[in-house]
Amino acid sequence: MDKDKYIGRLLDNRYEILEVLGTGGMAVVYKARCHRLNRLVAIKILKDDFSQDEEFRRRFHDESRAVAMLSHANIVSVYDVSTSDDADYIVMELIDGITLKQYMEKKGVLNWKETLHFAMQIAKALDHAHSRGIVHRDIKPHNVMVLKNGAVKVTDFGIARVMSKSNTLTKEALGSVHYISPEQAKGGRVDSRSDIYSLGIVMYEMMTGRPPYDGESPVAVAIQHINGKPQMPSTLNPNIPGGMEQIIVKAISQEPAKRYSTAKQMLQDMDEFRKDPAILFDYNNASTSLEDAAAIASQVKPAEPAAQPQRNIAERVANNKGAAAPVKRPAPSQSKPAKKPARRREIIIEEEERGNKAATIAVVICSIVAIVAIGIFLYAAFGDSGKNPDTNLVVVPNLVNKDFNEAAMSEDYVLEIESKVYSDKFEKDRIIEQKIRPNTKVEKGKTVQVVVSAGPEPKVKVMEDLINLDEEQALKFLTNTQGISGDRILIRRESNATIEAGKIIRTEPSEGVTLTEDQTIYLTVSTGPEVDSAMMPSVVGQNVEMAKKLLNASGFMNIEVEEVESTNPQGQVLYQSVTKGSTIATSTKIVLRIPKWIEVTVPTQPSETERPSDYLPKVVRIALPDDMTEDYIITVYNGTTVVEERMIPAGTLYTEVELYGKGKIDFTVMVNNGLSWTETVDFDEKTEANDDN
């Protein structure tokens, strides 16, 4: 398909195609303007090569229906779906950011805080999708968008399918070969644990700078996913905390049963690690050698020579190509027979004497082991002299003329730039001065402020790298060192999960740009991580299942249902613990109360086996309200039976629903705000949408 075919065209008299954003295997993504709502959007149009192929067209439509079911802060929203004569396309929110792959290529090896920040958001997106029966099947850094504020959104559910018993991959292992699960590589059954495996591979790559498996061909890589044993992440990056390594290794277990069973379970461990980075998990699974190695290797890591200078991670990775040391296991204990056979007294006495000797030897060995263990503990705690009772003190070395980035990798103290100055004597990024004198003992983890060289003063002023510098120090450098007038420096503030409050996130212009005399400089300053919060909707009077969906759509997942004595209708919410309209953290526990004496049941559309044989399917396009400012839920009823229920993103103008029936049937469509109307469907009347299906 000519990539410029749609440029300048107006689809459905609404969407003006502006430019190409990217090209995938099945579709081209364009930037477009919605003239009805006057906003920029992204439009994914199915390629001509595939629009005539029923299988590809069906897969493309499956994608749109799958994504339309999802509404989450970490998933790209879908606004509209069209199957008109002009084109088959999906209208999505336009993301202002870069892919996680691009971010990783720019940053190299990520630290554990950044890795955890991104991984938790991806896991939240997967948890939401899995709760609605959707498996992504193609989790990789290329399908994760990083926004300017540090938030991420998972995109491209191009090969997602609704989970079912018949859901298998028999023709091909879809997705990118470096991230696919072993079951995908084998063409086996895929479920939510496959996404967990792929997320584990992405975390492995973020923390080591490379995926665990690589090869000369896709087939070679796929075979490694099935039969290979990855290097422990800590052999490539010794700075990985033990708990983080355990999470990664558990996620990439080759057997699905040994992985996290749900994304929520994985999130819980990540949150525990976030609260306590020194935590080590007890998975109680001795049958998985790799997991055993993770647990042990995370506690006993090879010590570096004391005199060896700190090296950056990239250098360590380049020089460390060995596999993890083998882990020795104790032999399984032999159980004694329940009874002894009858023997002569002399033999029994001799056997008992041998037993006593063995017991004595065992006691001696245990004593030696205990003494050695105590010695190791004392050595680790107090050093070889045994005379230093204060294990929390470290010595600050002479940092002058050291490279700041290399020196900052020390685990003994935290380096912070107090200021930057031009210097003809010191190269750029070299430390000129340290605020704590060399060889001073300080508490481990103490912040050490340093003055860093910006290199020789250029003849023409250029924008210097001020990222991560304190706002005060950045202003001081610009005004005092560069002589820029304060009224030409403007401050912007925004939340950021990875950059500490008060520090610079970015500058406009960026580093290296020549500054003019009247140049206005913008400094974007971090306000710290944004607390996820949302407005509490009203759910009293709703069916409890509908109430849960409304709360989930707003981001509230911590929901508890209590039963109380009542004669109200079945499943009706009688009480909500948070008043409607309140803006609270999405992690807040929401308590709902429903009648105790009635079992909640929601009638649903009959299954294919229960449906009358003469019922016909029909895809019905339902026009939706155009004044909804928030995401909402519609429910389609046939009498009192719920035949369809789905989440609708705000601004969506219509949705397509597959209904079954005979003759003319009046269906009731109800919006959760109380609005309802009737849709009359004539199943004997043929329509273009129905013919397509």
Cα distances (Å, whole numbers) of residue 91 to 41, 243, 454, 524? 7, 41, 46, 31
Q: How far apart are CA 579 and CA 535, in angstroms?
A: 10
138 part of the active site: yes
Q: How far apart are CA 421 and CA 415, in angstroms?
A: 17
Q: What is the 3-state secondary structure (H, E, C) of 111-174?
A: CHHHHHHHHHHHHHHHHHHHHCCEECCCCCHHHEEEECCCCEEECCCCCCEECCCCCECCCCCC
Nearest to 468 by CA among 455, 450, 445, 442: 450
DSSP string, 603-650: -BPPPTTTS-TT-EEEEEEEE--S---S-EEEEEEETTEEEEEEEE-T
Half-sphere exposure of 539 (CA within 13 A, CB side): 33
Q: How far apart are CA 235 and CA 257, in angstroms?
A: 26
Per the structure block, which two tokens stand in for 678? 């009737």
Q: How far apart are CA 401 and CA 420, in angstroms?
A: 14
**The residue type at 511:** E
Nearest to 110 by CA among 97, 98, 119, 123: 119
Cross-strand bridge partners of residue 648: 632
Catalytic-labelled residue, pool 138, 195, 269, 470: 138
DSSP string, 408-476: TT-SSEEEEEEEEE--SSS-TTBEEEESS-TTEEEETTEEEEEEEE--SPPSS-B----TTSBHHHHHH
In degrees, rounded to 5, the angle at the alpha carbon of residue 154 between the alpha carbons of residues 127 and 130 is 25
* 342 contacts: CB under 8 Å, gap ≥ 6: none
Half-sphere exposure of 630 (CA within 13 A, CB side): 14
Q: Which residues are catalytic?
A: 138
